[in-house]
Amino acid sequence: MKRKKLIYLGLISVLILLIVTGCAAANPGETESTETTAEVTTTNSETETSSETKAQPTTVAPQTKATETKEPETKAPETVAPTTKAPEYQEPSVVIVLDAGHDTVYHSRNHPSLGFNEQDLNLKIAKACKKRLNEYAGVKVYMTRKDGSCPAGNIDGDECIKARTSLGTRKNADLFVSFHCNASTGVLGASANGAEVHISNYKAYTESSRRLGYIILNHLASAVDLNTRDVYIQTDPTKGYYDDGSVQDKFYLISQSVEGGHPGIIIEHAFMDNSHDNALLKNDSNLKKMGIADADALAEYYNLSLR
């Protein structure tokens, strides 16, 4: 019987051991649950981190980029600005000196019996020409006189002509244009009539000036009721030769323009002593039309455009 009691006691003690061990095994489960909470915390911290990452993009990095893209836009107009200036420099810069022939001192071709003085007609035509040329871009216009006075002072003849042509030289002109009206007999009723242009015999200028001369005659004939005569060269061997070997031009306005380094032309608009032309010249609106026709012809020749 004592053995049986001992066996029972043994079994009981084994059972107790088992129970104790079972309790100990239950504790690790609690540890696992702690780990789960830790994971949640980690997840939270990750979420925080991700929210930080979201915050970074909004940190205006894109905005900074946007500002950067705007900057080039503001720079763009700056680069356009020089290109708008460029055409100004590319424009043709033509310098033309307009010479209203004669004046109150130098007036060898005045014929009071014809109803006007040539220098007054010439000034009205030249002023209308200048006004019209100023409507074109790329041209600079000078006048040897703007009233009845002589540009050289109280002198006559060649000195007066030198003073006129020297303006072309000083202004580095591309062209010197002298405005005149013609006469043959000086008595009203002369048969010669119409417009003509005189150009230089200097080889480098002759062909281009001839082309300009015909453009002028075409414009004059379209503007007013005028016959067109021709484009002429008149030389004077007694004056000598140019450096290209060609005979000097008869008219000082033309030969001294050549010496000044540019072509000179003379436009004889109409014959003051021809009855038809005389009536035409007495009407100021015709003088204006002639000046505008001259300007439009010069603009066509130099390829100028209206502003």
Stretch that binds Zn ion, among 63-71, 98-106, 169-177, 196-204 (CB under 5 A): 98-106
**Among 95, 299, 100, 123, which residue's Cα sits nearest to residue 215?**
299
Phi-psi region of 143 (alpha: psi -120 to 50; beta: other; left: phi over 0): beta
Number of residues that bind Zn ion (CB under 5 A): 3
Q: Which residue is nearest to Zn ion (CB)?
A: 180
CB of residue 183 to Zn ion, shortest distance in Å:
8
Residue 176 phi, psi (nearest 5) = -115, 120
Tokens at 96, concatenated: 């033309």
Which one-letter DSSP state was computed for residue 246? P
User: By CB under 5 A, is residue 101 in contact with Zn ion?
Assistant: yes
- Which amino acid does the sequence have at 160? C
- Of 217 and 270, nearer to Zn ion (C-beta) is 270
Q: What single-letter amino acid sits at 76? A: A
DSSP string over 160-173: HHHHHHHHHHHTT-
Among 107, 109, 131, 282, binds Zn ion (CB under 5 A): 109
Q: Binding to Zn ion by residue 111, rule CB under 5 A? A: no
Nearer to Zn ion, 219 or 269 (CB): 269
CA distances for 96 relative to 162, 168, 262, 288, angstroms: 17, 8, 10, 19
Residues 118 and 181: their CA atoms lie apart, in Å, by 6
Show the site string, 161-200: x = touches Zn ion by CB under 5 A, - = not.
-------------------x--------------------
The residue among 126 and 299 lying less far from Zn ion, judged by its C-beta, is: 126
Contact of 260 with 169, CB cutoff 8 Å: yes
- The region of 62-70, 73-81, 95-103, 245-253 touching Zn ion under the rule CB under 5 A is 95-103
- The region of 94-102, 149-157, 163-171, 246-254 touching Zn ion under the rule CB under 5 A is 94-102
Output the smallest distance, CB 79 to Zn ion, in A: 54
Binding site for Zn ion (CB under 5 A): 101, 109, 180
